[in-house]
Amino acid sequence: MVVLLALSTLVSTALGGLVALRHRDRLHLILGFTAGVLFGLVAFDLLPEVFALGGTGRTVNLPTIMLPFVAGFMLLHLLERSVAMHHAHEQEYGEHHHVPELGLASAAALAAHSFLDGVGIGLAFQVNATLGFAVAFAVIAHDFADGLNTVTLMLRHGNSERRARLMLALDAAAPVLGAASTLLFSLPDSALAMYLSFFAGFLLYLATGDILPEAHARHPSRLTMLATVGGVAFIGGVVALS
């Protein structure tokens, strides 16, 4: 089941990349909804599960399990800054210069975090099936944006379409490999709490620092905000009914 769901992320990433090659300017509502789904997952599912798991360990307490949360948020922020992934803000600094290596580095960073997405799916299933499905749904949703961004970053920095498709294939395969890796090991509750806390911080940054600004930069509108609220409400409903 874990690998099958991870394969769905492969399809989602590939679709995002193919859409990026055609009509990228119509995706603000999808991105807004995705950001809402990720934020809702962190607030309604991941963090409550982290607190519940943390309470079962003798050496884990609230301040300790929140450190990975902060680390996950800050790690992705620093990584994004270092490879200039937030290409939407480059216009503030003057003319953009095509640097193919920067596009490759950015796409590789996206593939690395897609691998961690897959690990997150697998470890969530080690907690329980409900959390596993919720995490898988959120990853499938935002991997669409990952595929889209991978292709755009590659092409924008002067790489060929062939290279862009190769990096898209790598990004699409990464979550499957990450999920499959968790079939080889299991973690105690305290370690799961620490990892899920890190993953929650990771997803919170994706939602608030990456996907949501991208959605509003493309087409700021009330519909985009409503889509985000809808994403939060949707995942909240899924968690409440599970």
Domain membership flag for residue 231: yes
Mean pLDDT on 163-175: 86
pTM given for the model: 0.68
**Domain range for residue 212?**
2-91+112-241
Percent of the chain as helix, strand, coil, to the nearest 5? 85, 0, 15
Please give the share of the chain, as a percent, with pLDDT higher than 70.
79
Per-position b or e across 138-159, b if 16+ CB within 10 A of its CB = bbbbbbbbbbbbbbbbbbbbeb
Domain membership flag for residue 99: no
Q: Taking 70 as the threshold, does the pLDDT of residue 56 lie above it?
A: no
Distance CA 205, CA 104 (A): 22
Distance CA 134, CA 76 (A): 22
Distance CA 81, CA 166 (A): 24
Domain membership flag for residue 102: no
Distances (CA, A) of 160 to 111, 171, 177, 212, 220: 18, 17, 26, 28, 30
Distance CA 196, CA 39 (A): 14
Distance CA 157, CA 180 (A): 32
Residues 124-158: tens digit of each pLDDT: 888 888 888 888 887 887 677 677 767 766 776 67
Residue 118 near residue 199, CB atoms below 8 Å = no
71 band by pLDDT with thresholds 50, 70 and 90? very high
Backbone angles phi, psi at 35, to 5 degrees: -60, -40
Say how many domains are in the chain: 1
Residues 72-101: tens digit of each pLDDT: 899 878 877 765 544 444 444 444 455 677
Residue 138 near residue 24, CB atoms below 8 Å = no
